[in-house]
Amino acid sequence: MKRLKLCKASAGSGKTYQLALNYITLLLGERREDGTWRLLDGSGRMRHREILAITFTNKATEEMKRRIVRELAVLAGNPGTNDSDSSYRDTLMETYGLRPDESARLRNAARKALSELLYDFNGFNVSTIDAFFQSVLRSFAYEADLTGNYDLELDNKSAIEQGIAETLAEAIRPSDRPTPAGRWLEIYMTAKIDNGEAFNVLNADSSLRTSLKRFVDNLTGEDYQHNKQAIDGFLDNTDAVVTLERELSARQSAPRRNQSKGHQAIKRRNTFHRIRHTENNSRMDLRDITAHGSKSPQDRFAQSIRGSIQRTRQSRQSRLAGILHRRESRRDRGFSADMRRPRDCRSAAVAIL
């Protein structure tokens, strides 16, 4: 644990700078038993193969590789560069215990390390966490009971679809003993049928299949994984599940009752507005007659009453005409004999008028 070095830093505080410095320190030298460092001058060591650097993102990986190669080129004194331009030079000289007149040793070591790294770039192990574990898994594919040509799927949608298809195929496969998947499928489809809903979950293009995929996707999400123990404990309590189902059913039926009450209220309001409209029209007729002033008040009032009666009669006639039309249509479609007497209906309409 003495060689464990922790760097705590926030975003933009220079983590890549520090990590690249640590990598170059390991690449050019080695630690003694007493904890001090010494510079390695020999070549042919391929030391970069013994160093592993892991980052979180591909962007950080590329940035770290570019910084390491650039700093090595500057330390090696490549054409167009100067070793004094490296921000790592003084720190490395102090770490390896080199005197100012020994800067050539650091330059030669950097030149040899850069040449080996560029000629064996595949051994330059700077990668993301998932890429590292994938390489480990491929190395032990036989031990993990995997084929050598397996694919790593980052999107779980295709995996969920394949899992659901295999589970349903197992559920409908003929068997002497019912499987848990078969019992679940029977209960699930029976509940859908009892509720008058779509039940064919075997159709891959149905909306029910889509909702099932969404449900499984939620089960694989972080919210469920963090609360898995509490949710599983609740589902094991049958009484609690039944109570929750009743509460959900009551909440779903409540909007329907409120909607029917709302329709009744709208109907009453429309009836009230029709009555007020008729009264307003009668008052308007009376005001129009009074404004002309060509008749006596008694005549104007009588004319207003006659106008209201005439409008009411026209309204009744239109409604009765609609009734007659519907009854004649029913007669043509073969309804009972008591609805096939339009003369009685017309005589009743005349009596009402």
Sequence-distant (≥ 6) Cβ neighbours of residue 225 within 8 angstroms? none
The better pLDDT of the pair 284, 120 is held by 120
pLDDT of residue 351: 38
Q: What phi and psi, each to the nearest 5 degrees, are found at residue 286?
A: -65, -40
CB burial class (10 A; 0-12, 13-18, 19+) of residue 126? Answer: buried
- The tokens describing 179, both together, are 């499987």
Residue type, 112: K
CB 352 within 8 Å of CB 344? no
> Which residues does 16 contact at the CB level (< 8 Å), separation at least 6?
60, 63, 64, 67
Q: In the chain, which ranges are E strands?
A: 29-31, 37-39, 53-55, 126-128
The residue that leads in pLDDT, 68 or 210, is: 68
- Is the pLDDT at 343 greater than 60? The verdict is no
| 168-195: average pLDDT | 81
**20 C-beta neighbours (distance < 10 Å), count:** 24
Determine the Cα–Cα distance for residues 151 and 131; give it in Å rounded to an integer.
13
318-333: average pLDDT: 68
Distance CA 287, CA 302 (A): 13
Q: Which carries the bigger pLDDT value, residue 283 or residue 17?
A: 17
Higher pLDDT, 315 or 51: 51
Check residue 13 and give its pLDDT.
Answer: 79
Structure tokens at 169: 């195929």
- Separation of alpha carbons 284 and 282, rounded Å: 5
**Considering the chain, what is the average pLDDT of its residues?**
76
Which two tokens mark 351? 């009596």
109-126 pLDDT per residue, tens? 999 999 999 999 999 999
Asked if pLDDT for residue 1 goes beyond 80, the answer is no
Helix axes 342-352, 297-332, angle to 10 degrees: 170
At 233, the pLDDT band (50, 70, 90 cuts) reads: confident
Helix (H) or strand (E) holding 128: strand 126-128
CB atoms under 10 Å from CB of 156, counted, come to 13
Residue 31 forms beta bridges with which residues? 37
pLDDT value for 341: 45
Question: Is 50 exceeded by the pLDDT of residue 180?
Answer: yes
Confidence of residue 23 (pLDDT cuts 50, 70, 90): very high
Average pLDDT over residues 129-145: 86
In this prediction, residues 338-346 reach a mean pLDDT of 44
pLDDT tens digit sequence for 40-81: 876 667 889 999 999 888 998 999 999 999 999 999 988 777
37-39 and 29-31 beta bridge pairing: antiparallel
3-class secondary-structure state, position 308: helix
Instruction: Give yes or no for a contact between 47 and 3, defined as CB atoms under 8 angstroms apart.
Output: no
CB atoms inside a 10 Å sphere around CB 125: 15
Cβ atoms of residues 200 and 190 within 8 Å? no
- What pLDDT does 294 receive? 47
In this prediction, residue 334 carries a pLDDT of: 55
Phi, psi of 52 (to 5 degrees): -125, 125
Nearest by Cα to 70 from 126, 110, 14: 110
Asked if pLDDT for residue 300 goes beyond 50, the answer is yes
**Residue 337 confidence class, pLDDT cut points 50, 70, 90:** very low
If you average pLDDT over residues 293-315, what whole number do you get? Answer: 59
Mean pLDDT of 211-240: 82
Which residue in this structure is represented by tokens 């009450």? 261
- In order of 193, 295, 308, 311, the CA distances from 302 in angstroms are 66, 11, 10, 14
Is residue 229 very low, low, confident or very high in pLDDT (cuts 50, 70, 90)?
A: confident
- β-partners of residue 30 are 38
Q: At residue 345, does pLDDT exceed 60?
A: no
What does the alpha-carbon distance between residue 342 and residue 331 come to, in Å, rounded to a whole number? Answer: 10
DSSP, res 140: T
Q: Please give the backbone phi and psi of residue 37, each rounded to the nearest 5 degrees, phi first.
A: -115, 150
- Residue 279 backbone phi and psi in degrees, to 5: -65, -40
Note the pTM of the prediction, 2 decimals.
Answer: 0.49
